[in-house]
Structure 1
Amino acid sequence: MSQADNTARYANALIGGAAGDAWGYQVEFTKYPKMPAYPVSPPAGDWIISDDTQMLLATHNALHDVVDFDDIDEVAEVILDRYLDWAVDPDNNRAPGTTCMSALWNIESGKHWNAGGARYSAGCGAVMRLAPAAFAPQQYRRGLAVLQAVVTHRHPKAALSALLLCDAFTVAGQAPLLEHARADLMTLATRLPDAWADDDYLLRVLALLTDDPHAYLSSALGPEPGRRGPSMEQAFTAAAERLAIETHSTGWAGDPCAGIGEGWDAATATALGMLAADLHRNGRLGPVEAIAWAATSNGDSDSIATLAGALIGAASSDPGFWGDHQLGLCLEPRYADEIDNAASQGPASTLAGVSAAMDRPVGLTGV
């Protein structure tokens, strides 16, 4: 794939993610039976984004700040610096996740992320901000996807969800996303998927968490003692079954969450985002229609729709993709500029951090 195509895919992912976030944020805490419409209409006036897009932009900026991706400790510090910037930003008043905030305050108080700072949580905050990591240079992207997750969400399900989502961004437009993810989950029951086992950078990141990467990731499979809800395998299987049903249906598809989960956790948010993207891929839903459907959910509507929009965008290398489909995005000015700047910069590269480090003010630590 050419650099121009990859940059266009990245821009489309950023735009689609921000659109889904703003669309779903209108009804984030509204239950499905009380939705104002089916589907929910796009925002009127400025499209107001949530912490999902704010943290995604923080991830983008962090990866452009990094000088040396091979220095994993430095990468984690740079990511956390940008997340701490976000934590004290005046605009951080849009129902930020409790796990993200409490982990960051732990770290600000002096705890290392890997020694009591990060929370033992598999919440969707681990994945809603991930897209920039998935577009990093190939040899780093899986490790970065896991690292950006576990610095606040130190849970095997968060790490595994991040891996599945990272690979989904890579294959978007080339393969069915749920099918690809389920194949990796089936393999993981007995061993690491080959692509993961051969990923040296990923293994180095996982080595910070465990001496046995397979045991660590596979511990995310099956029911979790003391917790309700579907296992990861059940969530992705239910999403695949829903895909098969909806592919041959017509009319309104109903609550996306039904039978799968509500997307407040990383696993079901990832499965639901892939479901909406696959329904676009197979022609059942148009791209804007898929975002609207994902936003009209009984669960975490903004996170589900942001993942759906980002995955749909990542499948297209056409710079005019969203305009051609009449998305009509009108972000509030600050974030319109920030998304535009991030799209213009493109994905982080191994050289990006050198110039970023020269441009960033000395001593900016995030608080």
Structure 2
Amino acid sequence: MTNPWDPLSWEATAAYRARVRGCLLGGAVGDALGYAVEFSSLDAIRAAHGPRGLRAPVVDATGVSRISDDTQMTLFTAEALRTAHARERRKGIGGAAPRLVQQAYLRWLDTQHKPGPEPRPKPGTAPSDTPQGPPHPADLSSQAWLYARRAPGNACLSGAAQGYAPDPALELGPHGRVNPESKGCGTVMRSAPFGLTRAPADRAFELAARCAQITHGHPTGYYAAGALAAIVARLVEGDSLEGAVLRTLRLLARYPGHEETSMALTAAVDLAAAGEPSAERVASLGEGWVAEEALAIGVYAALACHGVEDALLLAVNHSGDSDSTGSVCGNLLGALRGDHELPEEWVRLTEGRAVIAAVADDLAGECARR
């Protein structure tokens, strides 16, 4: 009998691709859902949307549910990891991922300062080595909607501008150079792709934590990013969500300065087992503006609810950083269940869904190749 998780089997490849798509699309759906109520208090959300709070995506005048900087940076992360994997596979050159991720964040930063993509040369007027015709769907620099400025975090902006790429040979520990006191959720909200490359969970953890130091230097900021990547890596391989979180807690315990991240994750697991989910229980975990709180809220919502829609709604209906907590929850649920279990209508409404799917397929197609 064929092992469905044999890396050479068709079943394994199909399941893997569905989880990668699910992770990126689920994160975008949660991001867009929460972006509509980010910066609003729970009372204000309920006053605007009813006593149960927000119940469905909010669309703009063009009929789309807008994503934020969370999805923007996640896509640039995925692009860099695909390039790093291809470089290592084709040339046998490893260790370039931190530099490639840093360069990708500079490209993202460019989108925050320009009105739109550069015009493409007209056919027949460009040099022969210039690509002609329409851009590939996953060519992020060509996507006008990615140039929208959607409340990016100050540490992400200032950190990316410094052009720092962590040394991959340096032992991971509490020595962040850039924004050393910052542990904002800008680390964790972009880090799910590190868990999608089929690397072991401990390697996904280390790379995500290292690359989080490009913009944030506080250990909790980068350990939370590493923890999300490790959880996603285990989900992609078929682990349960609770099992993935508990194994990640054991991984975290190896690192000095892990305590805030570990305590937040433990609180999320305990709270999910304590009774009926509610916005008030979410509030006991914080507001999500810092990395460990965003991670904990996303994990709690994903664990506490049976349905994807209910979990995403729980993750965003609170007084805090609703798009980041929604994004983390969506990343987890998509990696756990695959894209086919995401709410179809919510995916259809999400800004840039075709490009997000193309980025996911490019990443999965590359990383499925050994």
TM-score, scaled relative to structure 2 = 0.73
Partner of 2:15: 5
Q: In structure 2, what is the Cα distance between the partners aligned to 1:73 and 1:289?
A: 40
Q: In structure 1, what is the Cα distance between the partners aligned to 2:70 and 2:281?
A: 19
Partner of 1:27: 37
Q: In structure 1, what is the Cα distance between the partners aligned to 2:104 and 2:369?
A: 16
Q: Does residue 85 in structure 1 map to residue 107 in structure 2?
A: yes
Q: In structure 2, what is the Cα distance between the partners aligned to 1:232 and 1:142?
A: 13
Partner of 2:82: 64
In 2 relative to 1, CA 244–148 (structure 1 residues): closer, same or farther, beyond 3 Å? same
2:252–2:262 Cα contact (<8 Å) kept: no
Q: In structure 2, what is the Cα distance between the partners aligned to 1:344 and 1:117?
A: 34
Partner of 2:150: 94
Q: In the TM superposition, what is the alpha-carbon distance from 1:129 to its structure 2 partner? A: 0.9
Q: Does residue 237 in structure 1 map to residue 266 in structure 2?
A: yes
Work out which of the residue numbers 299, 319, 331 in structure 1 matches 2:350.
331
Q: CA RMSD in A?
A: 2.8
Q: In the TM superposition, what is the alpha-carbon distance from 1:237 to its structure 2 partner? A: 3.4
Q: Does residue 54 in structure 1 map to residue 76 in structure 2?
A: no
1:172–1:312 Cα contact (<8 Å) kept: no
Partner of 2:217: 154
Give the letter aligned to residue 11 of structure 1. R
In 2 relative to 1, CA 92–185 (structure 1 residues): closer, same or farther, beyond 3 Å? same
Q: In structure 1, what is the Cα distance between the partners aligned to 2:241 and 2:100?
A: 30
2:64–2:349 Cα contact (<8 Å) kept: yes
Q: In the TM superposition, what is the alpha-carbon distance from 1:93 to its structure 2 partner? A: 1.3
Partner of 2:340: 320
Q: In the TM superposition, what is the alpha-carbon distance from 1:255 to its structure 2 partner? A: 3.9
1:136-174 Cα deviation digits (max 9, x unpaired):
132453333223312222222123212321222133385
Partner of 1:212: none
Work out which of the residue numbers 171, 187, 193 in structure 2 matches 1:126.
187
Give the letter aligned to residue 317 of structure 2. T
1:192-239 Cα deviation digits (max 9, x unpaired):
2xxxxxxxxxxxxxxxxxxxxxxxx23231xxxxxxxxx334423332
Give the letter aligned to residue 346 of structure 2. L
In 2 relative to 1, CA 92–76 (structure 1 residues): closer, same or farther, beyond 3 Å? farther
Q: In the TM superposition, what is the alpha-carbon distance from 1:179 to its structure 2 partner? A: 6.0
In 2 relative to 1, CA 73–152 (structure 1 residues): closer, same or farther, beyond 3 Å? farther
> What percentage of aligned pairs have identical amino acids?
30
The answer to which of 67-76 and 258-267 deviates more is 67-76
Give the letter aligned to residue 340 of structure 2. G
In 2 relative to 1, CA 239–92 (structure 1 residues): closer, same or farther, beyond 3 Å? same
1:67-104 Cα deviation digits (max 9, x unpaired):
12885653222111111111121425111011111111
Q: In structure 2, what is the Cα distance between the partners aligned to 1:187 and 1:346?
A: 25
1:113-135 Cα deviation digits (max 9, x unpaired):
57986222221111111121101
Q: In structure 1, what is the Cα distance between the partners aligned to 2:235 and 2:250?
A: 20
Q: In the TM superposition, what is the alpha-carbon distance from 1:278 to its structure 2 partner? A: 0.9
Where does 1:215-234 land on structure 2 (aligned, <5 Å)?
Answer: 217-221=255-259, 231-234=260-263
Q: Does residue 43 in structure 1 map to residue 58 in structure 2?
A: yes
1:23–1:302 Cα contact (<8 Å) kept: yes
Where does 1:162-311 land on structure 2 (aligned, <5 Å)?
Answer: 162-172=225-235, 177=241, 180-182=244-246, 184-185=248-249, 189=253, 192=254, 217-221=255-259, 231-246=260-275, 249=276, 253-255=278-280, 257-280=282-305, 283=306, 286-311=307-332
1:47–1:329 Cα contact (<8 Å) kept: no
Q: In structure 2, what is the Cα distance between the partners aligned to 1:57 and 1:106?
A: 20
> For this pair of structures, how many residues does the alignment match?
303
Give the letter aligned to residue 204 of structure 2. R
Structure 1 segments unaligned to the other structure (5+ residues): 193-216, 222-230, 354-367
2:191–2:226 Cα contact (<8 Å) kept: no
1:103–1:118 Cα contact (<8 Å) kept: yes
Q: In the TM superposition, what is the alpha-carbon distance from 1:301 to its structure 2 partner? A: 0.3
In 2 relative to 1, CA 290–329 (structure 1 residues): closer, same or farther, beyond 3 Å? farther
Give the letter aligned to residue 106 of structure 1. Q
Q: In the TM superposition, what is the alpha-carbon distance from 1:176 to its structure 2 partner? A: 5.2
Q: In the TM superposition, what is the alpha-carbon distance from 1:328 to its structure 2 partner? A: 5.0
Q: In the TM superposition, what is the alpha-carbon distance from 1:329 to its structure 2 partner? A: 3.3
Q: Does residue 104 in structure 1 map to residue 165 in structure 2?
A: no
Q: In structure 2, what is the Cα distance between the partners aligned to 1:171 and 1:93?
A: 33
Q: In structure 2, what is the Cα distance between the partners aligned to 1:148 and 1:255?
A: 33
